[in-house]
Structure 1
Amino acid sequence: MKKVLVVEDSVMVMKVLTHVLSRSDQVLPVYAKSFSEAKARVESGEHEFFAALVDLSLPDAPDGEVVDYTLGLDIPTIVLTGSFDEKRRADLLNKGIVDYVTKEGRYSYQYALGVLHRLIKNQRVKVLVVDDSSTARKFVSQMLRLHLYPVFEAEDGVEAIKVLLANPDIKILITDYHMPRMDGFELVKNIRVKYEKSDLIIVGLSSEGDGTLSAKFIKHGANDFLRKPFNHEEFHCRITHNVEYLEMIEKLRDAVNRDDLTGCYSRKYFFQHGGELYRNAVAANVPISLAILNLDDFRKINERYGNDVGNDIICQVATNLRRVFGRFLVARADGEEFYALLSGLPNDKACAFVDRARQVVSADSHSIDSTGDAAFAGVSLSAGVTSVTGESLDLMIARAGDCLQRAKDVGGDMTMGDD
């Protein structure tokens, strides 16, 4: 969880903030009622603040001194204020605050929490800014960095394509229209040969042309268009809208690749994505291991306790497998069996890792009946692990299956690797 400094002197507002922020599993608020108390929280050294949510007018800082203080420490700052003032808003945005929120009801505080959540997510959303004017490029880049986006820059379309090829995980491209060598239209057309609108967001910018320029950009494949000059709020609202669209598409794609019961990846996805990981490992001559994990005597559990308890056990096992395997690919193969692909691990390390994981999962799996009593407690898993890549992923699965069978033949509740 990210620690956020919350500074507010109003008892009523503090109660609302406490209620709203308590509902977040991403933000850990540290409260202060005055400027001096906020400074004490920061200077104690006990906290590393990710962001700050501060009242503009405090009894010991009536002119926004707390904002200058947090910005001076490079803490992304969201300002809360009881009244809207256009000049003050412009001054604060020019200073580099993240956002300006008027205290007008509960939605305002929920909006502020949404901005904090967005800042957390933005750290994983890479953006490429393309403009031949270094001044304009740096202006847009700085606006994005204030919201914690990792930013790349390019001075024309040709350089932008090189940056994209070197950083294929870039999610947003913001491009000017008029540029040497390759203008914005040509850049968009070239990019759309490889990237769909749901893979890479493209936003066109220009201060030139007539009212048809936005239509031309979008017809060439851009997702959106902004005419220069634009204000901070319009820019960030458009970018946030497009990012959220991209995240929604990614969430839908991910849901399609998941097993309905357990939430693990499906067998089909394992062969698609796992096959790619397998081929990459073989081509680069780096170790890769495949594990098959299977619940011992699961048929007896179903026969004695019923399918509902059996499904509950499978779901708990799946949840724990996703947690302990972390960055590795885990999928439900079928019934009570799971596949795991461990990139970068040779057989001895893979076996040791899988065995520890297997024991952790076994110890933390149980079922609770409708009365709250444990209907069933304790399961065991067997695992087979191979690091012999052979000629295909299918052959690795077959070898891991042989290792699993050897573990079952000697009583189960253990891990077997390559001979």
Structure 2
Amino acid sequence: MEKILVVEDSPMVMKILRHVLSQSDQIKPVYAVTFDEARKQLAQHRFVAALVDLSLPDAPNGEVVDFVLQQGIPCVVLTGSFDEQKREQLLAKGVADYVTKEGRYSYQYALGVIHRLIKNRKIKVLVVDDSDTQRAIAVNLLKLYMFDVLQAKDGMQAIKLLLEHPDIKLLITDYNMPRMGGVELVQNIRVKYEKTDLIIIGLSTEGEASLSAKFIKAGANDFLRKPFNHEEFHCRISHNIEFLELIETIKDSVSRDVLTGTYTRSYFFSQGETVLLSAREKGSPVAAAIIELEDFSSVNSEYGHEAADLLLKYVGKKFVRSFGRFIVARGGSKEFFVLMPGLNNEKARAFVDEVRQMLGRESVSIGSHSLSLSFSAGVSNCVNGSMDGLMGACVECLNRAKEAGGDLVFGDDE
């Protein structure tokens, strides 16, 4: 969970904020009611963002906002009143957003902005514009929202950066640029990237009314006419990113085993082939493991299917957490597969054995019974050109571990 600073002097507003923020499992709020308290909290903790009241008894003119921004912390401002002059002042300061204290939805909105800021840190955005000034405006706004931002001066440079950074999720491009303009760039990108893989937003100061249609028909997701204001830019970006995240969530859920939350066997093998190909090109190691739960059949026969399902859910959750940076899948009724790119056999075997020991110290309660957990595993780096060959070598290691008495992890060298 990420720490955020919350500064508010009104007891009623603070009560609402505590209730709304307690519903989030992504943040850990640290509260202050005065500017002095806020300074002390900032000295003691590291915050990813701040939700700050504009006017405090010991800081009536927004001094706390200025101080938070000076620390390089994204700031969402709470204000009791709103007018155009105040809006201009807040945006000029560099706040991420502002919220008027008008009802529960306002605080829910503020929480949504905080969540968005936290998620944005992992999202890479490419801004393409030949104008240094216009490009800087978009880049600064994106950095204000904590995006990881790359820049290009024309379409040719943009394509080069896309190839170097395949994890770019959003591209914002101007229309009129040298070498390759915006529409031509979109057309070239859509040969490889679908709309659900890469969001593209077109920009232009040109007066031609049909420009938005040109961009959309070429494959852009959206279009903005320059100059755009702070809020419009933020909303368009957020809505498009949320659309992409929704599609990714749907795709991920289809690839997940319903019972355990791990990936499906088919997803494991399809992704595995891609991982193997990449590893061969880079000359890096890839390890795989087959984990087989012990005494699972007896649990099924003695306690029933519901008890067995409960055990699988528990183990699946543990494996997803333990092997979080790798691909873990359910391979069969009592088997799990793990693919670990970057690990040699010694490190992979030690890692899997560490998980085995951790699981062995735990138990699952089923009714009045407490079931201990154990598994045997085979780990291999024998890549013989395919996932089938790699997993076949894991089976051989697993069989040796079971023949040696079980509750063991064997690798290629044993």
* Alignment TM class, shorter chain as reference: over 0.9
Deviation at 1:34, TM superposition (A): 1.2
Distance of aligned partners of 1:325 and 1:188 in 2 relative to their CA distance in 1, 3 Å threshold = same
Is the CA contact 2:78–2:100 (under 8 Å) kept in the aligned structure 1? yes
Alignment equivalent of 2:241, drawn from 220, 240, 243: 243
Partner residue, 1:89? 87
Partner residue, 1:348? 346
Listed as ranges, the matches of 1:363-402 within 5 Å are 363-369=361-367, 373=368, 375-402=369-396
**When the two structures are superposed, what TM-score results if normalisation uses the length of structure 1?**
0.96
Whichever residue aligns with residue 398 of structure 1, its letter is G
Listed as ranges, the matches of 1:95-110 within 5 Å are 95-110=93-108
Distance of aligned partners of 1:211 and 1:365 in 2 relative to their CA distance in 1, 3 Å threshold = farther
> 3-state SS of the aligned residue for 2:191?
coil
Partner residue, 2:33? 33
Partner residue, 2:399? 405
Q: Deviations over 1:98-127 (max 9, x none)?
A: 001000101101110111100010011111
Whichever residue aligns with residue 381 of structure 1, its letter is F
Q: For the residues of structure 1 that align with 2:217 and 2:385, how far apart are their CA atoms?
A: 46
Is the CA contact 1:365–1:379 (under 8 Å) kept in the aligned structure 2? yes
Is the CA contact 1:292–1:337 (under 8 Å) kept in the aligned structure 2? yes
> 3-state SS of the aligned residue for 1:49?
coil
Q: For the residues of structure 1 that align with 2:323 and 2:40, how far apart are their CA atoms?
A: 40
Whichever residue aligns with residue 175 of structure 1, its letter is T
Deviation at 1:193, TM superposition (A): 0.8
Partner residue, 1:9? 9
Q: For the residues of structure 1 that align with 2:356 and 2:325, how far apart are their CA atoms?
A: 16
Partner residue, 1:268? 266
Listed as ranges, the matches of 1:111-122 within 5 Å are 111-122=109-120
Deviation at 1:362, TM superposition (A): 3.2
Is the CA contact 1:316–1:365 (under 8 Å) kept in the aligned structure 2? no
Q: For the residues of structure 1 that align with 2:394 and 2:234, how far apart are their CA atoms?
A: 50
> 3-state SS of the aligned residue for 1:334?
coil
Partner residue, 1:416? 410
Whichever residue aligns with residue 221 of structure 1, its letter is G
Q: For the residues of structure 2 that align with 1:79 and 1:406, how far apart are their CA atoms?
A: 62
Listed as ranges, the matches of 1:151-300 within 5 Å are 151-300=149-298
Deviation at 1:240, TM superposition (A): 0.2
Deviation at 1:225, TM superposition (A): 0.5
Whichever residue aligns with residue 60 of structure 1, its letter is D
Distance of aligned partners of 1:157 and 1:317 in 2 relative to their CA distance in 1, 3 Å threshold = same
Deviation at 1:250, TM superposition (A): 0.5
Deviation at 1:365, TM superposition (A): 4.0
Q: For the residues of structure 1 that align with 2:35 and 2:410, how far apart are their CA atoms?
A: 61
Partner residue, 2:333? 335
Q: For the residues of structure 1 that align with 2:156 and 2:375, how far apart are their CA atoms?
A: 54
Alignment equivalent of 2:123, drawn from 122, 125, 129: 125
Distance of aligned partners of 1:78 and 1:209 in 2 relative to their CA distance in 1, 3 Å threshold = same
Alignment equivalent of 1:50, drawn from 36, 45, 48: 48
Deviation at 1:280, TM superposition (A): 2.3
Whichever residue aligns with residue 389 of structure 1, its letter is V
Q: For the residues of structure 2 that align with 1:160 and 1:391, how far apart are their CA atoms?
A: 34
Is the CA contact 2:363–2:370 (under 8 Å) kept in the aligned structure 1? no
Listed as ranges, the gaps of 5+ residues in structure 1 are none
Deviation at 1:298, TM superposition (A): 1.3
Whichever residue aligns with residue 396 of structure 1, its letter is L
**Residue 73 of structure 1 pairs with residue 67 of structure 2:** no
Deviation at 1:383, TM superposition (A): 0.8
Q: Deviations over 1:216-261 (max 9, x none)?
A: 1111111001111111111100000000000001111111111111
Q: Deviations over 1:354-396 (max 9, x none)?
A: 1111121233341333xxx4x3420221111122222322122
Is the CA contact 1:312–1:367 (under 8 Å) kept in the aligned structure 2? no
Listed as ranges, the gaps of 5+ residues in structure 2 are none
Deviation at 1:344, TM superposition (A): 2.1
Deviation at 1:349, TM superposition (A): 2.1
User: Percent sequence identity over matched residues?
Assistant: 58
Alignment equivalent of 1:303, drawn from 288, 301, 308: 301
**When the two structures are superposed, what TM-score results if normalisation uses the length of structure 2?**
0.97
Q: For the residues of structure 2 that align with 1:41 and 1:239, how far apart are their CA atoms?
A: 32
Deviation at 1:95, TM superposition (A): 1.4
**Residue 321 of structure 1 pairs with residue 315 of structure 2:** no
Distance of aligned partners of 1:221 and 1:404 in 2 relative to their CA distance in 1, 3 Å threshold = same
Give the stretch that moved more between structures: 247-256 or 67-76.
67-76
Q: For the residues of structure 1 that align with 2:101 and 2:316, how far apart are their CA atoms?
A: 44
